[in-house]
């Protein structure tokens, strides 16, 4: 008995330039915002970008970007939902809407493989993946299935976040997923702790994203998200990452 879908995953991603997973060790550090903001910002800069929300049980990218949920169209696979010019989104929420989705580990893996095998991304400069918090099936499955995977690790300057992110960075190193950058989010009084963390692990510091009280008011409006100061900071960080070759 064999699973044919991993071969399909490779074929579906063949037209994608860079594949970057936004990872965080704990919830609440703004990882989903950073992934969504990066997508909008890069798209507005003329890049073709896909956004894949792999936080299966707590999908939120569509909430940030105001994407109406509906079953995807089909064309030799399923087509991501359009967000704005240059940006499209695939999310389990397209299928489950606002219902809860409680999955066990093997089921999470199956769902990830299915989404990766069936989604036709076409030509994209970058596929950004909004990961669930923590170190679990999603990280391991992507490392197994997606050649060329990179990670952007998001942390707030909080000591709690920094200390658990250190474990995540160690795991990413162990499973040979290069870290394109460590991004400091929700920064109020400097991000020295995140800079030090990145330096201690030999990772690049990707930049500081300021604490932005405007995010809540921009929810559900991709154009409003695009105008935020925090989005500008995320976009600059990602543009710099994409301007450099993938780290080995």
User: Interface residues with other proteins (CB under 8 A)?
Assistant: 1-12, 56, 71-72, 74-78, 92, 95-96, 99-104, 107-108, 110-111, 114-115, 117-118, 120
Q: Are 77 and 89 in contact (CB under 8 A)?
A: no
**Shorter beta-carbon distance to other proteins: residue 130 or 208:** 130
Q: Which of 135, 58, 43 is nearest to 99 (CA)?
A: 58
Q: Which of 210, 248, 224 is nearest to 65 (CA)?
A: 224
**Shorter beta-carbon distance to other proteins: residue 91 or 193:** 91
CB of 109 to other proteins, least distance (A): 10
Q: Are 226 and 87 in contact (CB under 8 A)?
A: no
**Between 105-118 and 137-145, two packed helices, what is the crossing angle to 10 degrees?**
40
**Shorter beta-carbon distance to other proteins: residue 115 or 184:** 115
CB of 82 to other proteins, least distance (A): 17
CB of 72 to other proteins, least distance (A): 7
Strand order of the β-sheet with 87-91 is: 81-84, 87-91, 49-53, 124-130, 16-23, 149-155, 179-187, 205-210
CB of 92 to other proteins, least distance (A): 6
**Shorter beta-carbon distance to other proteins: residue 106 or 248:** 106
């Amino acid at each position: 008995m064999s699973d044919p879908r991993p071969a399909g995953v490779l074929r579906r991603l063949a037209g994608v330039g860079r594949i970057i997973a936004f990872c965080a060790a704990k919830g609440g550090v703004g990882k989903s915002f950073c992934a969504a903001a990066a997508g909008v910002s890069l798209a507005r800069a003329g890049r073709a970008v896909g956004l894949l929300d792999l936080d299966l049980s707590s999908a939120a990218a569509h909430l940030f970007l105001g994407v109406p949920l509906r079953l995807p169209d089909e064309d030799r696979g399923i087509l991501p939902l359009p967000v704005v010019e240059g940006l499209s989104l695939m999310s389990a929420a397209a299928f489950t809407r606002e219902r809860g989705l409680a999955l066990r580990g093997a089921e999470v893996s199956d769902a990830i493989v299915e989404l990766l095998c069936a989604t036709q991304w076409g030509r994209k400069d970058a596929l950004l993946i909004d990961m669930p918090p923590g170190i679990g099936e999603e990280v391991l499955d992507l490392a197994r299935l997606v050649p060329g995977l990179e990670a952007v690790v998001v942390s707030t300057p909080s000591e709690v976040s920094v200390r658990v992110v250190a474990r995540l960075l160690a795991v990413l190193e162990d499973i040979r997923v290069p870290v394109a950058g460590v991004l400091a989010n929700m920064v109020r009084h400097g991000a020295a702790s995140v800079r030090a963390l990145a330096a201690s692990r030999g990772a690049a510091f990707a930049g500081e994203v300021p604490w932005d009280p405007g995010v809540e008011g921009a929810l559900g409006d991709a154009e409003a998200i695009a105008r935020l100061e925090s989005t500008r900071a995320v976009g600059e960080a990602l543009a710099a990452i994409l301007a450099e070759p993938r780290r080995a």
